[in-house]
């Protein structure tokens, strides 16, 4: 059974810092991995999708990497801003027809 773990559970950083969020998964035979952002009381916003054949994806100040063999992904946020404050969720899909399995998220606070 696939299990996804995110460390740390919470993180507080001053504005302008670069930071890394970690995600690990127990079954390395994944189909894809997706990072989401969730603001309080809101739904999920997709940030980056990495297919199993890819090693990283970039969007603006965000960069996500994938190391399937070690069962790890990282989300790198450059030059953090208060608006980046949210919960970041990592999720993996074992095949195209199976549901996403989510970690419990990292709650990020960027202090101005």
Partner 1 sequence: GAGVSQSPSNKVTEKGKDVELRCDPISGHTALYWYRQSLGQGLEFLIYFQGNSAPDKSGLPSDRFSAERTGGSVSTLTIQRTQQEDSAVYLCASSLRRGNGYTFGSGTRLTVV
Nearer to partner 1, 66 or 89 (CB): 89
- The whole-angstrom separation of Cα 5 and Cα 73 is 10
- The whole-angstrom separation of Cα 28 and Cα 60 is 27
Nearer to partner 1, 26 or 98 (CB): 98
Give me the least distance between CB of 14 and partner 1, in Å please.
Answer: 27
Helix (H) or strand (E) holding 67: strand 62-67
Answer yes or no whether residue 26 interacts with partner 1 by CB under 8 A.
no
Q: What is the token pair recorded at 110?
A: 């960027």
Torsion, Cα 21 103 105 19, to 10 degrees, reads 0
In the region spanning residues 46 to 75, those forming contacts with partner 1, defined by CB under 8 A, are: 46, 49, 51
Are 48 and 57 a contacting pair, CB within 8 Å? yes
Give me the least distance between CB of 79 and partner 1, in Å please.
Answer: 25
> Largest Cα–Cα distance in the chain?
42
Answer yes or no whether residue 13 interacts with partner 1 by CB under 8 A.
no
- Given 10, 26, 31, 111, the residue binding partner 1 (CB under 8 A): 31
- Given 36, 75, 88, 94, the residue binding partner 1 (CB under 8 A): 36
Nearer to partner 1, 42 or 61 (CB): 42
């Amino acid at each position: 059974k696939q299990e996804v773990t995110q460390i740390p559970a919470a993180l507080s950083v001053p504005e302008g810092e670069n930071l890394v969020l970690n995600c690990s998964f127990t079954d390395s035979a994944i189909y894809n991995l997706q990072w989401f952002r969730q603001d309080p009381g809101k739904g999920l916003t997709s940030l980056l999708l990495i297919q199993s054949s890819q090693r990283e994806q970039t969007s603006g100040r965000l960069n996500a990497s994938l190391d399937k063999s070690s069962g790890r992904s990282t989300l790198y946020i450059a030059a953090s801003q208060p608006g980046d404050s949210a919960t970041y969720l990592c999720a993996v899909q074992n095949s195209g027809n199976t549901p996403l399995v989510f970690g419990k998220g990292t709650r990020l606070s960027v202090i101005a």
